[in-house]
Amino acid sequence: MGSTSTHGNNGVGRRDLIKRSAALGLVTVPTMSFLSACASSDSGGDSKVEKGKKSAKNPLGVNGSAPLEVVIFDGGFGEKYAKDAEAVYKTDYPKAELKHSATQKIQSVLQPRFNGGTPPDLIDNAGAEQMDMGVLVGKNQLTDLTPLLDAASYDDPNKKVRDTLRPGIVEMGQFDGEKVWILYYAYTIYGVWYSRTNLEKLDAEYPKTWDEMLAVCAKAKKKGIAGWTYAGKHPYYLPFSLSAMIGKVGGREVLDAIDNLEPNAWKHPSVKACFEAYYELYKKGYILKGTPGLDHIQSQTAWTEGKALFIPNGSWVENESAQTTPKDFKMAVSAPSGLDDSDKMPFGTIWASGGEPFIVPAKAKNPDGGMEQLRIMLSEGQSKNFTKQVKSLTAYNGGTEGLTLTPGLESAEAALKLAGENVVNPRMQDWYVQLQKEKVGVASLGEMMAGRANPAETIAKIQKYADEAAKDDSIKHYKHS
């Protein structure tokens, strides 16, 4: 969630999700001892390798004989895609000694090296032991990746790397100002997931307005099928569809105000309208019975078994639920239904953003090599290789031509195409993870969707939590520029 980043979770939900869904941008906070140690790591050598000569084929001026060290998170995406891209680096720079390692314990393995000022040159900073990005940025621990973005792309010398990326990737790597600290390599589509087959059985189409949504759910209920289910034990999944709906109804500025922790942001009429819409699913009995007690796997299994039509989720769900998905399921994702014709943004408005965050440490000995490795990964060939291997899109805007896509992935790409410029990227889940996950999710939306609080009470509670976070000086605050 995504990044997507998620702090402070020692429970089963996000930790397990990260392991299985390859940490799509969702961050957990390291221990305080690590944060303070990492923050104060000014010791150790900061000697950079000598720069190489810039050329058309070497726009970053990589030293072709300098060693390069890469550490990859060994999660749901595995490490083969990275090794394949490293083989290209070795071909391009045959004199370079390349050291590759993969681990699930990013923090444990790399903490002493950050402390000693001898980190690797490129890190896939993901997983249950992901290092806190906000802390790394705030303490000047990372290299600005702007030179990579401004370099010629691997395939076309007339195109900069930044011009080959999907919407939102550059912005996601920014925290304060123009500098880009993180390159998210995977690309996640959040939305409402469904089975084309199960909708066809009801002689129904995906609903574009809320009245249509309620009508489809009513039709399903008559057949003994629930309209919706969701990860009841982890209700921070609900914003995967609800956030984009709020943006569609009220405009991007509403989501920005929420991210910026502005006073009364949650009291905007579009938030109220969308909360009331979701609450209606509960009131009309359109949510699968027992959903508040289900975790993400249980709710996804109930959905693939056809017990519910719709589920809010991210594009990792296809891989994650593959074992229980019928062959004729025809998995698909859609942008959230809107309210009506008065919505500020068109149907198709969707939340899509980067996952699998790569960083080049500030004290890396070969930062140019680390960035060059990313430049290779962002080529069409390596992007295709990744998508083929792990059923996920990359940050590279393309790379699917000629591939036989799985139904969910094909649908995700179609949803992106339909959205066009109408892609939203709420930042609360990586700026204020505890607020998003525990306060907005579990303590508020979870209670409302279980029928234990109404929308007005829920909004008041969330606004109070947001105000507290805004006033808390121990939290690093970020804002949309």
Same domain for 30 and 155: yes
CB within 8 Å of 480: residues ≥ 6 apart: 256, 259, 260, 427
pLDDT of residue 46: 54
Q: How far apart are CA 172 and CA 188, in angstroms?
A: 12
Same domain for 104 and 32: yes
Same domain for 221 and 178: no
Length in residues, the chain: 481
Same domain for 52 and 171: yes
Q: Which domain holds residue 139?
A: 12-188+354-409
pLDDT of residue 128: 66
Query: Which amino acid makes up residue 294?
Result: L
Give rounded-to-5 percent helix, strand, coil for the chain: 45, 15, 40
Q: How far apart are CA 414 and CA 335, in angstroms?
A: 11
Residue 4 located in a structural domain: no
Residues 375-418 have pLDDT tens digits of 999 999 999 999 988 888 999 998 888 889 999 999 999 999 99
Are 184 and 303 spatial neighbours (Cβ–Cβ below 8 Å)?
A: no
Question: Would you state the structure tokens that stand for residue 273, as one six-digit string?
Answer: 């309208």
Same domain for 306 and 203: yes
Same domain for 174 and 308: no
> Helices 239-250 & 269-283, crossing angle to 10 degrees?
130
**CA 477 to chain CA mean position, Å:** 20
Residue 2 located in a structural domain: no
pLDDT of residue 437: 83
Query: How many domains in the chain?
Result: 2
**Distance of CA 299 to CAs 238, 292, 481, Å?**
12, 10, 37
Per DSSP, 265 falls in state G
DSSP string covering 184-216, please? EEEEEEEEEEEEHHHHHHTT----SBHHHHHHH
**Distance of CA 362 to CAs 47, 178, 391, 438, Å?**
11, 17, 32, 32
Residue 90 located in a structural domain: yes
Are 330 and 196 spatial neighbours (Cβ–Cβ below 8 Å)?
A: yes
pLDDT of residue 3: 34
Are 344 and 274 spatial neighbours (Cβ–Cβ below 8 Å)?
A: no
The predicted model scores a pTM of 0.77
Which region, left, alpha or beta, applies to residue 125 given φ > 0 means left and ψ of -120 to 50 means alpha?
beta
Question: Would you state the structure tokens that stand for residue 141, as one six-digit string?
Answer: 């621990």
pLDDT of residue 431: 81
Task: List the CATH number of the domain containing 165.
Answer: 3.40.190.10
Which residues on neighbouring strands pair with residue 195, listed in sequence order? 331
Same domain for 182 and 154: yes
Residue 372: which of 204, 226, 166, 183 has the closest Cα?
A: 183
3-state secondary structure (DSSP) of residue 478: coil
Are 176 and 303 spatial neighbours (Cβ–Cβ below 8 Å)?
A: no
Residue 257: which of 67, 9, 466 has the closest Cα?
A: 466
CB within 8 Å of 347: residues ≥ 6 apart: 208, 248, 335, 337, 338
Residue 158 located in a structural domain: yes
Same domain for 293 and 336: yes
Same domain for 116 and 59: yes
Same domain for 135 and 98: yes
Which helix (H) or strand (E) segment holds residue 412: the answer is helix 407-419
Which helix (H) or strand (E) segment holds residue 113: the answer is helix 106-115
- Sign, CA dihedral 229-419-160-136, equals negative
- Which stretches of the chain drop beneath a pLDDT of 70? 1-46, 76, 128
Q: How far apart are CA 405 and CA 414, in angstroms?
A: 11
**Distance of CA 85 to CAs 123, 334, 374, 380, Å?**
14, 32, 9, 11
Residue 174 located in a structural domain: yes
**Distance of CA 386 to CAs 24, 173, 187, Å?**
14, 21, 11
Residue 1 located in a structural domain: no
Residue 416 located in a structural domain: no
Same domain for 344 and 290: yes
Question: Would you state the structure tokens that stand for residue 11, as one six-digit string?
Answer: 């429970």
**CA 235 to chain CA mean position, Å:** 16
Residue 29 located in a structural domain: yes
Question: Would you state the structure tokens that stand for residue 197, as one six-digit string?
Answer: 């087959």
Same domain for 359 and 239: no
